[in-house]
Amino acid sequence: MHLEWATQGGTRLQARWTMPQIRRPEDVQGLRDNTVKFDLETTRVQFFGAHGSLPQVLGETLETYGFRLAEQDGDNRLTRNRRLWTVGGRAFVRPAAGKWDHDVEGAYQFGTARRSTAAADTADLDVSAWFAHAEVGYTRRTGWTPSLAAMFDAASGDGGKAGHYRRFDTLFGARRFDFGRTALYGALQRTNIVSP
């Protein structure tokens, strides 16, 4: 379900609730055998939240968001039983010819999760994690408008402290990752990293 409210001035508020699809088959042998199975949606994995955008505040766009992931083990599927809240904000100016631009974002994540999907792992760990992204750039005013940007990313990592989990979880991964616009490095996540 997706609800959206917008004004003519560009202010937007979006709310959504979904049961993310579980792609099947999930096992290596099923993939090798090209087994055909219908994908699965279940109330045991739910994702919902809201995102707001306010344009032209002191010359930039401000965004805020809050998302919840609630998952639990199913009959034939083990999970990390993540029950996470992710809240964050972003301020940015879109690139334009002959102008400086920037993009600054930060998020905090809290809740509970397990360290692994193992059946023997039944300990719910307290989650407290964060990530930050900053980018500044300039677009030249020429025929083909080249843009030069400097980026910085940092995200918390896990030190293995008993009862706690500090690694930022990207939940479902990024479609286009900052470290590889062509998705060459899509396997990387914003976790346990400082990358200027």
DSSP 7: -
Which alpha helices (H) appear in the chain, and where do they start and end? Answer: 28-32
Does the residue 35 lie in any domain? no
Distance CA 44, CA 20 (A): 10
pTM: 0.83
Q: Has residue 3 been placed in a domain?
A: no
Residue 157 domain flag: yes
Q: Alpha-carbon distance 46 to 33, whole Å?
A: 30
Is residue 36 in some structural domain? no
Instruction: Quote the domain boundaries for residue 95.
Output: 44-195
Asked if residue 153 lies in contact with residue 174, where contact means CB atoms within 8 angstroms, the answer is: no
Q: Identity (one letter) of the amino acid at 99?
A: K
Task: Kindly state whether residue 155 falls inside one of the protein's structural domains.
Answer: yes
Q: How many domains does the chain have?
A: 1
User: CA–CA separation, 17 vs 182, rounded Å?
Assistant: 29
Tell me the three-class secondary structure of 91-105, residue by residue: EEECCCECEEEEEEE
Domain annotation covers residue 150: yes
Is residue 8 assigned to a domain? no
pLDDT, one tens digit for every residue, the chain (196 residues): 999 999 999 999 999 999 988 788 878 888 899 888 888 888 889 999 999 999 988 889 999 999 999 999 887 788 899 999 999 999 999 999 999 999 999 999 999 999 999 989 999 999 999 999 999 999 999 888 888 999 898 999 887 778 899 999 888 765 455 555 544 444 556 677 888 7
Residue 189 lies in a domain: yes
| Bond before 146 cis per omega within 30 degrees | no
- Contact criterion met (CB below 8 Å) for 55 and 36: no
